[in-house]
């Protein structure tokens, strides 16, 4: 069980009371996993060029529980030939209590993926290693930057985002 603590006097920058805010990880799990190794055994020669795609989705399960999905897609090529493709959906079930509405999206799309990422990273490293290559250690992801970029894109395009 973990509690989200805001430094300072228990208030968010906009003055909302955060002293009773609770974020609990109820569970986490591999929801979907696919690994293709079409280049084997020739893909083991040379250093592959890696392309990483990241996507996040959050959905309300009931009044206080939310499922957050961290989707990772890794493609690797050696000399423009496919070496491997890995797709992972790693999810977590979070119980969030006493969160102001304006804080829900940042919690679900920044804090929750930040909690899930180290576990998803380990799954990726193990699967790539078990596929016959050196473990792939994905660099940390700036979920805050992704969130801000998505918000800016949506404000510019007039789209709405819901949780």
The radius of gyration of the chain from alpha carbons, rounded to an integer in Å, stands at 19
What domains lie within the chain, and their CATH numbers? 22-135 (3.10.420.10)
Structure confidence at residue 70 (pLDDT): 98
Predicted local confidence at residue 7, as pLDDT: 44
pLDDT reported for residue 69: 98
pLDDT tens for the chain, 163 residues: list them: 444 444 444 555 555 556 789 999 999 999 999 999 987 776 667 778 899 999 999 999 999 999 999 999 999 988 888 889 999 999 999 999 999 989 999 999 999 999 999 999 999 999 999 988 888 999 999 999 999 998 898 887 654 444 5
Q: Quote the pLDDT of residue 160.
A: 47
């Amino acid at each position: 069980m973990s509690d989200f603590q805001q430094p300072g006097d228990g208030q968010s920058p906009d003055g909302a009371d955060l002293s009773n805010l609770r974020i609990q990880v109820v569970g986490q799990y591999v929801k979907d996993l696919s690994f293709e190794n079409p280049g084997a055994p020739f893909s083991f020669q040379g250093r592959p060029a890696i392309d990483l795609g990241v996507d996040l989705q959050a959905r309300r399960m009931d009044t206080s529980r939310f499922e957050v999905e961290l989707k990772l897609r890794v493609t690797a090529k050696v000399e423009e030939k496919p070496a491997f493709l890995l797709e992972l959906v790693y999810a977590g079930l979070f119980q969030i209590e006493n969160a102001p509405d304006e804080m829900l999206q940042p919690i679900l799309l920044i804090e929750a993926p930040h909690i899930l990422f180290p576990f998803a990273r380990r799954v990726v490293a193990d699967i790539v290693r078990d596929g016959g290559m050196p473990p792939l250690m994905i660099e940390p992801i700036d979920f805050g930057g992704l969130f801000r970029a998505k918000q800016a894109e949506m404000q510019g395009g007039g789209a709405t985002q819901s949780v």
